[in-house]
Structures are given as structure tokens and as C-alpha cells.
Amino acid sequence: MYDQKIIDSAMRRLSHRRQQALLTAQQRREELSQAHPRLEETLRQLGETGPQLVKAVLARRPQEEIRRLQDRNLALQEEMSLLLKELGLPADYLEPSFHCSLCQDTGFQNGKRCSCLEALLKEEACRALPTLDGGGQYQFSNFSLDYYSQRSPAPGRPSPRQRMEGVLAKCRAYVTPFLPRGESLLFIGRTGLGKTHLSLAVAGEAARQGFGVVYASAQGICDRAERVKFGRDEDGSDGQFLRAAYGCDLLVLDDLGSEYSSPLSNATLFDLVNSRLLDRRATLISTNLSPDEMERKYSERLVSRLLCGYAMLYFEGEDIRQQKRLEEAGSR
């Protein structure tokens, strides 16, 4: 299930492709007609015989009349091919050159989504995800382990680098392949440890596999729910987004715990988490809160579902953003 904005964007791109193909064909017809009167006359006659043939068939006219129109139409088509050949042009030069020959850029074939529309939906789903500061998508390949220390914090304990190698491997396995009815993940760790990067890398890979992905911050979800509840969703986009969040293949809920706490926000988050667990829909949640802090902030029902219904991945290390700022300052 895709967010309506993603569907609309993909359909706009398809419509643009189709209109461009039709416009190019029309421009070619006009240019050749002006330069070659004989071709213009043949085009005019073809434009007349086609509808006449259709009407004759629908009206169940005598077979002799239908065959006469068919022969006339075929003769005109052959004449058109000869004229184009004389001009050194291919026989289909005046036909629209659609990007997709299967659906002629309509997006549907035999009542089902065409492969071209599916490809555009994947592209739009990826484009809708947040991007890196310098542009580009968050991916596993550009997630660097160099910022994590190789020193063990205590004898017998893995180093932050070792811990994060395991987290990265778990995230890769989670989407190889992605299972929309599989387990949900809970990323736990302080700010600046790469939770958002890996959650978006997971989201992007799931989207590239053709699954419907919705990304939102906890505060963003709560804001939308508030506008819907109090009648401030003027264009209906907030309601559409919430329905997509409930029904998508993968929901990525970022920064749980940073939202303003209220009875409505708490109820919204519980209902979303609980509904997706009951429907066995995959969800990935990231939070800066420790399990103890979650127990103090949220209801026992919500915390129970998060700690028992999700596979928890702990992020360790030093704030990567601060490390990068220090590197930039040192290079000046």
C-alpha cells in the first residue's frame, strides 16, 4: 500500500510521458502535412475511414460494406507506408512513441498495474524518503563503521564497533528479502549513533523491492492525528497519510519519545503500534529512550508491546554528528 502522494506523483509522471508522446506525433504529422500535400490527403482519408469502419461494425452493416471499408483502410495504410518510405522515414514515424509499449503509458494492462507503473511507484517511494545532507539516499553502503570505537568498554564486552557490525548485519538480513509480515524492529540508543541512517537504509531497500513504505517522525504522526480529530485536515491529506501509516508494508517511525506528550498523542501511538502488531505488519521504530525511560513516559500497555513484540537493536558509540563537526573544524 502506497501513500496517495506517491501514487499521484507516479501517475503524473506517466501522464506527462503519454502527453509528450502524443504531442510529438501530432507535431510530426503537422510538419509533414505542410511539406507534402499528398501525405496530408492520405492522412485525412485515413482519419475518415477508421471511424466509418467502427460505425459499420457496431451498426452490423452488411459484410460487403464492412469488407469494402476494410480494404480501403488497408490500401490507405499501405500508401502511407510507401510515402514515408520515399521520405526515408520508418513506417511508424507518425505513431506516438510511448515509453511503455505494453500499456501505452496509461499505467494499466488488463485491469492491473503495468510493470512501468510499478517501477515508478518504487522510484517515488524512494524519492519520498529523507535524503542525506549533501543529497543522495541513506544506504547500507554509505553507513560508515569508522566512527565507532574498537575499544571494549569492559572485559568480555563487545566494542561499539563490534556491536554496530552486528546491528548492520541484522538490518541487511532484515530486508534480504524484506518480509512485510515479518518481525518489527526497535532501534534504541542515544542521539547521533546512526539510528535514522539505518532505518532509512532499511526503508529504501524495502521500497526498491516494491513494498509500500511510509516514513514519519512520532511528532509528525501525532500532529496529523490532531488535525484530523479536530477538523483541521482541510484537504484530507493528513487522513490519507494516517491510513497509509496503518496499512503500509513497512512503517518507519522515527524519534519516538521526542513528541509532545498528551492523552491524544499517547492514544495515537498506542493504537498505531497495537493495530500493526495485530495485523502482523512490519514496523521499525527508533528512539533515544532507554527501556526504563520508556516505562516512565508511556503506558504499560504500549511499553509491553514495544519491548515484547519488537526485536530490539542497541546502538552504542559516540555522537557521530559531533565527530563530523570536529573533523570539519580541524580541516579548516
Grid cell locating 79: 500508401
Dump the DSSP string for 60-90.
Answer: T--HHHHHHHHHHHHHHHHHHHHHHHHTT--
CA 147 to the chain's CA centroid: 31
Phi, psi at 46, each rounded to 5°: -60, -40
pLDDT per residue over 203-258, tens digit each?
999 999 989 899 999 999 999 999 999 999 988 889 989 999 999 999 999 999 99
The x, y and z cell numbers of residue 320, run together, are: 557521530
In whole angstroms, give the CA distance from residue 321 to residue 153: 21
Retrieve residue 83's grid coordinates: 510515402
pLDDT at 1: 65
Tell me what pLDDT residue 77 has: 83
Strands 213-217 and 310-314: unpaired
Residue 134: what pLDDT?
Answer: 67
Q: Report the distance separating Cα 195 and Cα 284, nearest Å.
A: 10
Buried b (16+ CB within 10 A) or exposed e, 141-168: eebeeebbeeeeeeeeeebbbbbbeebb
Which pLDDT belongs to residue 326?
Answer: 77
Predicted structure pTM score: 0.77
What gap in Å lies between CA 204 and CA 235, rounded to an integer?
28
Low-confidence stretches of the chain (pLDDT < 70) are 1, 134, 331-332
**Given the DSSP bridges, would you call strands 213-217 and 250-256 parallel, antiparallel or unpaired?**
parallel
CA atoms within 13 A on the CB side of 93: 20
For 270-298, the pLDDT digits (tens) are 999 999 999 999 999 999 999 999 999 99
